[in-house]
Amino acid sequence: MAGKNRFSVSDRFEYLQGLVTEFQDSDSDEAKEQVLANLANFAYDPSNMEALRTLQVTELFLDMLTEENENFVEFGIGGLCNLSMELESRDQILQSGGVPLVISCLSSSRDETVLSAITTLMNLITASSRSEITDSAVLQCMLRFSHTQNPRLRNLACVFLQEHCTQKQVDTARHALQGQSQSAVGIPLPKD
């Protein structure tokens, strides 16, 4: 890992800062998409996480989740998925009130967005955030996902239910799903 660092910490920081600045200053959606994807991919590398946190890229990603442009949402949640793997970044997302925003991504019509959202939610589970994330509506959504044709979505939803939810929670959610009190979380709105 140490041998991989071709650039010094300050060089990295400057480069990432340049990206953030370009994202903020650019008027072109195409350029913004590219920069956002760059930043999200940089968030994959643990050695960049500190710089990205300092530059408040977490906030930037969270802001993207409410964008109209589907690419922005996909790259933003992808970046959050990468960042939330690390504990400090996870806490930053939780402090910024990111959970409802991430849950809203479950209703996206894009597979990648939904997958990133599930993984991010799993990463964000802590003792204090557990109740918010394993909410009944989310569980119902996961149950629905666990029966889809898409194996990736199915697997991830199963992991979510197996790892982070009690059998009791799952049972009540399943019961609610069969009954009348269904939630609409995770059901994409029809396209116009």
Partner 1 sequence: MDGSVASSSVWDTQKVYKHHEQQNVAQTRPKYREGRRLKAVKVYTINLESRYLLVQGVPAIGVMAELVQLFALYGVIEEYRPLDEYPAEQFTEVYLIQFQKLTSARAAKRHTDEKSFFGGQLHVCYAPEYETVEETKQKLQDRRRYVNWASQNAAKLHSQQAEVNTESSSSTDTRTAEAPIMQKNPEEARRENVNSDYMGFPLLPLPPTADISYRLQNHFTQPSQLQWTKETTEDKMGSLHNFIPPVQKTSTQSESSSSSGVKEGDLRQKQKISTPSIRFMPRTTHLESRKRKLDEQTFFLKEADKTGVLIGPKLPELPKLDMEDSSLNVTANLIRNTMTKAASVPEAKPVQAKHTTPKPRRRI
> Per residue in 11-38, is it b (16+ CB within 10 Å) or e — as a string?
ebbeebeebbeebeeeeeeeebbbbbbb
Does 91 interact with partner 1 (rule: CB under 8 A)?
A: no
Identify the residue among 60, 133, 156, 173 touching partner 1 (CB under 8 A): 156
Identify the residue among 6, 95, 151, 168 touching partner 1 (CB under 8 A): 151
User: What span, in angstroms and rounded, lies between the C-alpha atoms of 32 and 34?
Assistant: 5
Residues 61-90, one symbol each (x = binds partner 1 by CB under 8 A, - = not), give ----------x--xx--xx-xx--xxxx--
* Token duo for residue 45: 């590398």
User: What span, in angstroms and rounded, lies between the C-alpha atoms of 103 and 16?
Assistant: 28
| Best CA proximity match to 85, nearest among 56, 148, 139, 43 | 43
Report how many residues bind partner 1 under the rule CB under 8 A: 50
Write out the H or E segment, with its range, that includes residue 182: none
CB of 69 to partner 1, least distance (A): 12
Q: Which residues bind partner 1 (CB under 8 A)?
A: 1-2, 8-9, 18-19, 30-31, 33-35, 37-38, 40-41, 44, 46-47, 49-50, 71, 74-75, 78-79, 81-82, 85-88, 111-112, 115-116, 119, 122-123, 147, 149-152, 154-156, 158-159, 162-163
